[in-house]
C-alpha cells in the first residue's frame, strides 16, 4: 500500500482545509525495465459526502455517511465509512502523484467508542461469536485513524474485455477518528487529482498466435494432443509446452519461477490469455508435498508455489495465482518476493511482500497424477464442449448449505444466505435447495443421500457453502453445533452417477482444494494435511472433478483455510444494499461474485474465475488486509480455463 502524506495548517488539532502535492516535471520518462517511454496525464475525482449519521448500538457507536459506498472492516479496528473506486489505465501506467484537497474539516465529539470490526471466522467451524475486541494499538493511541484521507493500491491485470490494464484502487476515508479524544474529523467535499505516466506502447502482440498454452511434462503429451486438436477445431488456438523445455530455456531461482517466466514470454510473444497446467503430485501413496517454504517440486509433475502468508492458523498454502499474476502495477515482472529475501508471498508480523494479485492470464490446473487421469479429463472436457448442454438439466442450479456460525445476535444461516445470494444472480436457472433448514419439513437436506440423488439428475452449476477439509464437506443443522449435517465425503463420490450431466462446482470451505495430499502424508501428518487421520489419496475438489461417470467438469475452491464474516455491520461491499455480512465479505462474497460474473454474459470458465478475483480485489484490495489477501491467493480453479460453459452451439 502506498500513502501520500498531507500537510496541515493547524487549527486546534486539524486544519480548516488540507492540501497535498508533489512537484513533478512534464517531460516523458522511461521505465527502466521495459525501456518504454511514458507521458504525463491527469485525472480528477470529486467526491461529496453528507454529515455523518451517528447511531448508538449498545456500548458502541456506528457511523454512516451518505456518499461513502462501503465500510472499513478490519478485525478489531474501528469500523468507518469509506468510498472505494477502481480506475483502469493503459498497461504499465505509473502513478506519479495523487494530490488530495479537502474543504473545511469539521469535528464531532462522540458519547461512546466507535465499534470495532468483528474477527473473520474460519469457515464452517461453528464457534460461538463473542463480543468484538478493540485493537489497543489504535484505541489507546493519540494518533488519528486512519493516518490519511486516502490510500491507494495498484496492480496489472485483465479487464472485462481481457485487455491488459493497470488498475488503481483508491480508498477515501471521509471520517477519521481520534479514539483517545472520542472525536471524529470529517469532510463533506474532497478532490483527488491523479497524475500518472502512461506508456506510448505496450509489450503485447497486435495479433495473437495462440489463445492457450498447455504446460505439462512430456509423459502427458500424447494423451493431451487429443485436447489440443479439439481446442483448435473449436477456434481456441492451443499449443503444448513441455516442462522439460521450460526448465532448459527460461531463467528463474527455481522451477516455479522458470514456469512463470515462460508464461510471461508466451503472453508477450504469442499473446496467450489462457494457461492450463496439467500435472499434480506423482503418486497417490507417498511424496513430499512441500520441499521447502516456497515450493513443492520433487514429487510433482507440475510444481506448486506456496504462499508464506502466516495468519496465525497456518503458515503456507498452495497458490496457483502465482502463475497468473505476472505483472506488478507498473508492468514489471511480479516476483512475489518484493523484499528479495528469498521467501515468497511473505506476510507475517515482521515481513510483508507487496503482491498485486490481479491475474494477467486465465489459469487453471488439472492436478493429474498419471496418464489415466489425463485421459479422463481430456475425454470429459471434449464430451462436455463438443455440443450444447441439454437445457433440461443444464438450466438447473443446485445449492447446498446450512448454518456455519453460532451467532445468537442475528441467527443467520450463513451457508443458506450465501446460496440464496448466488441464486439471486442466476435467475434463468431453476433452483434446487438442499438446506439444513429443511430438516423435519420434508425437503432436501445436506446428507449424502439427498446430494447424490439430486446431482444424479444433472445441473449446470453446483454450490456448496459450509465447512470443508480435503476429504469432506459438511455443515451444521440450525442451532445445533454439536452435531454435523452429514454432507458428502470424497469417499462417497463413486455414488455420483450423473454421467455427462456435469456441473461447474463452487465449494466454500477449508482446504477442499488442497491438492497436495497423499495417503502416507495424511496418516503421518494428519494435522498438517487437515484430514484428522483419515488416509486420503487426493483432495475433495479434484476427486469430484476427475471422477469417471459423473462428478463435476471443474471445481473452484480453497487450497488453504477459508474465512467467513458474521452478523450485520453495514454495507461492506458497497453495492447500496445492506445484507448479512456473510454475503458481503470474505469467502461468501468471493463465492457469490463467481455467479455474478457469469450472469454478466461471461461463459468461459477462466474468465469467470478472473472476473471473480477482480471484483473481490476492487472491493477488498488484497494488500489492505491479510485475510483478504489469503482468500485471493488460495482460490484454485481445478479445470480448463478455456472451457466453454454449457458447451459449443456450433
- pLDDT at residue 11, rounded to an integer: 29
- pLDDT at residue 408, rounded to an integer: 80
- pLDDT at residue 219, rounded to an integer: 98
- Averaged pLDDT, 540-564: 97
Mean pLDDT (the chain) is 92
How many other C-beta atoms can be found within 10 angstroms of the C-beta atom of residue 372? Answer: 12
Q: Residue 36 — pLDDT band, cuts 50, 70, 90? A: low
Per residue in 347-396, pLDDT tens? 999 999 999 999 999 999 999 999 999 999 999 999 999 999 999 999 99
CA pair distance 482, 474, nearest whole angstrom: 13
At residue 57, does pLDDT exceed 60?
yes
Distance of CA 513 to CAs 366, 544, 556, Å? 12, 10, 8
Q: Which of 610, 585, 586 is nearest to 597 (CA)?
A: 610
- Averaged pLDDT, 23-28: 37
- pLDDT at residue 5, rounded to an integer: 33
Per residue in 471-529, pLDDT tens? 999 999 999 988 899 999 999 999 999 999 999 999 999 999 999 999 999 999 988 89
Distance of CA 562 to CAs 393, 427, 467, 569, 632, Å? 31, 27, 9, 20, 10
CA pair distance 51, 554, nearest whole angstrom: 48
Per residue in 413-462, pLDDT tens? 999 999 999 999 999 999 999 999 999 888 999 999 999 999 999 999 99
CA pair distance 168, 643, nearest whole angstrom: 30
At residue 124, does pLDDT exceed 70?
no
CA pair distance 227, 137, nearest whole angstrom: 56
- Averaged pLDDT, 157-186: 96
- Read off the pTM: 0.93
- pLDDT at residue 129, rounded to an integer: 61
Share of the chain above pLDDT 90, in %: 84
Alpha helices in 203-276 (DSSP H): 221-233, 243-249, 255-270
DSSP code of residue 503: P
C-beta separation of 648 from 388 below 8 A: yes
Q: Which of 267, 56, 254, 120 is nearest to 584 (CA)?
A: 120
Which 3 state secondary structure label does DSSP give 326? coil
How many other C-beta atoms can be found within 10 angstroms of the C-beta atom of residue 88? Answer: 14
Domains of the chain and CATH, by start: 7-199 (2.60.40.3800), 212-347 (3.40.50.10390), 384-638 (3.40.50.1460)
358 burial class (0-12, 13-18, 19+ CB within 10 angstroms)? buried
- Is residue 341 left, alpha or beta, with left meaning phi > 0 and alpha meaning psi from -120 to 50? alpha
- pLDDT at residue 9, rounded to an integer: 28
At residue 67, does pLDDT exceed 50?
yes
C-beta separation of 417 from 407 below 8 A: no
126: phi then psi, degrees, rounded to nearest 5? 80, 20
- pLDDT at residue 258, rounded to an integer: 98
Residue labelled with grid coordinates 480435503:
470
At residue 564, does pLDDT exceed 50?
yes
End-to-end CA distance of the chain: give it in Å, rounded: 47
- pLDDT at residue 37, rounded to an integer: 57
Q: Over 86-151, what HEC string results?
A: EEEEECCCEEEEEEEEECCCEEEECCCCECEECCCEECCCCCECCCCCCCHHHHCCCCCECCCCEE
How many other C-beta atoms can be found within 10 angstroms of the C-beta atom of residue 581? Answer: 29
Q: Residue 35 — pLDDT band, cuts 50, 70, 90? A: low
- Averaged pLDDT, 293-305: 98
Amino acid at each position: 500500500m502506498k500513502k501520500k502524506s498531507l500537510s496541515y495548517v493547524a487549527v486546534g488539532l486539524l486544519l480548516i482545509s488540507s492540501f497535498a502535492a508533489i512537484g513533478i516535471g512534464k517531460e516523458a520518462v522511461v521505465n527502466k525495465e521495459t525501456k518504454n517511454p511514458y507521458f504525463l496525464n491527469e485525472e480528477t475525482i470529486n467526491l461529496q459526502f453528507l454529515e455523518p449519521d451517528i447511531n448508538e448500538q449498545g456500548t458502541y457507536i456506528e457511523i454512516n455517511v451518505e456518499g461513502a459506498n462501503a465500510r472499513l472492516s478490519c478485525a478489531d479496528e474501528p469500523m468507518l465509512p469509506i468510498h472505494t473506486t477502481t480506475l483502469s489505465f493503459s498497461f504499465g501506467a505509473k502513478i506519479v502523484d495523487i494530490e488530495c484537497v479537502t474543504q473545511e474539516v469539521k469535528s464531532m465529539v462522540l458519547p461512546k467508542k466507535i465499534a470495532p470490526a468483528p474477527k473473520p471466522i474460519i469457515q464452517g467451524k461453528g464457534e460461538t461469536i463473542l463480543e468484538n475486541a478493540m485493537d489497543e494499538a489504535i484505541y489507546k493511541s493519540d494518533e488519528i485513524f486512519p493516518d490519511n484521507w486516502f490510500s491507494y493500491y495498484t496492480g496489472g491485470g485483465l479487464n472485462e474485455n481481457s485487455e491488459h490494464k493497470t488498475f488503481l484502487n483508491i480508498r477515501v476515508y471521509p471520517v477519521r477518528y481520534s479514539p483517545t479524544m472520542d472525536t471524529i474529523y470529517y469532510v463533506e467535499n474532497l478532490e483527488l487529482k491523479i497524475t500518472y505516466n502512461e506508456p506510448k506502447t505496450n509489450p503485447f502482440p497486435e495479433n495473437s498466435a495462440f489463445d492457450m498454452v498447455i504446460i505439462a511434462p512430456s509423459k502427458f503429451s500424447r494423451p493431451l494432443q487429443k485436447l489440443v486438436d479439439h481446442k483448435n477445431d473449436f477456434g481456441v488456438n492451443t499449443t503444448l509446452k513441455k516442462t522439460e523445455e521450460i526448465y532448459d530455456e527460461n531463467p528463474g531461482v527455481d522451477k516455479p519461477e522458470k514456469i512463470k517466466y515462460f508464461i510471461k514470454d508466451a503472453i508477450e510473444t504469442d499473446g496467450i490469455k489462457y494457461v492450463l497446467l496439467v500435472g499434480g503430485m506423482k503418486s497417490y501413496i507417498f511424496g513430499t508435498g512441500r520441499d521447502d517454504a516456497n515450493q513443492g517440486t520433487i514429487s510433482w509433475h507440475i510444481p506448486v508455489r506456496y504462499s508464506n502468508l502466516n495468519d496465525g492458523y497456518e503458515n503456507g498454502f498452495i497458490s496457483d495465482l502465482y502463475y497468473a499474476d505476472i505483472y506488478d502495477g507498473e508492468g514489471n515482472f511480479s516476483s512475489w518476493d518484493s523484499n528479495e529475501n528469498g521467501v515468497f508471498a511473505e506476510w507475517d508480523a515482521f515481513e510483508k511482500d507487496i503482491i498485486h494479485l490481479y491475474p494477467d492470464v486465465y489459469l487453471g490446473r488439472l492436478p493429474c497424477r498419471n496418464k489415466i487421469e489425463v485421459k479422463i479429463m481430456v475425454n470429459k472436457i471434449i464430451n462436455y464442449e463438443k455440443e450444447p448442454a441439454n437445457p433440461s438439466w443444464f438450466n438447473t442450479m443446485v445449492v447446498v448449505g446450512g448454518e456455519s456460525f453460532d451467532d445468537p445476535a442475528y441467527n443467520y444461516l450463513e451457508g443458506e444466505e450465501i446460496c440464496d445470494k448466488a441464486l439471486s444472480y442466476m435467475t434463468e436457472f431453476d433452483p434446487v435447495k438442499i438446506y439444513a433448514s429443511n430438516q423435519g419439513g420434508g425437503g432436501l437436506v445436506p446428507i449424502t443421500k439427498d446430494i447424490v440423488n439430486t446431482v444424479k439428475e444433472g445441473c449446470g452449476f453446483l454450490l456448496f457453502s459450509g465447512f470443508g477439509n480435503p476429504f469432506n464437506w459438511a455443515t451444521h443443522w440450525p442451532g445445533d453445533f454439536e452435531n454435523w449435517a452429514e454432507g458428502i465425503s470424497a469417499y462417497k463420490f463413486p455414488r455420483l452417477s450423473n454421467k455427462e450431466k456435469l456441473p461447474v462446482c463452487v465449494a466454500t470451505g477449508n482446504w477442499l482444494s488442497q491438492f497436495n495430499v497423499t495417503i502416507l502424508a495424511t496418516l503421518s501428518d494428519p494435522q498438517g494435511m487437515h484430514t484428522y487421520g483419515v488416509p486420503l489419496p487426493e483432495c475433495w475438489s479434484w476427486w469430484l472433478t476427475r471422477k469417471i461417470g459423473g462428478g463435476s467438469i471443474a471445481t473452484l475452491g480453497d487450497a488453504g483455510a477459508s474465512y467467513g464474516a458474521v452478523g450485520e455491520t453495514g454495507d461492506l461491499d458497497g453495492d447500496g444494499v445492506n445484507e448479512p455480512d456473510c454475503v458481503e465479505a470474505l469467502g461468501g462474497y468471493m463465492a457469490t461474485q463467481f455467479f455474478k460474473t457469469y450472469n454478466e454474459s461471461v461463459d468461459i470458465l477462466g474468465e469467470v474465475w478472473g472476473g471473480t478475483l477482480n471484483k473481490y480485489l476492487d472491493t477488498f484490495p488484497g494488500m489492505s488486509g491479510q485475510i483478504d489477501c489469503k482468500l485471493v491467493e488460495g482460490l484454485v480453479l481445478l479445470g480448463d480455463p478455456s472451457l466453454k460453459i454449457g458447451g459449443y452451439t456450433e
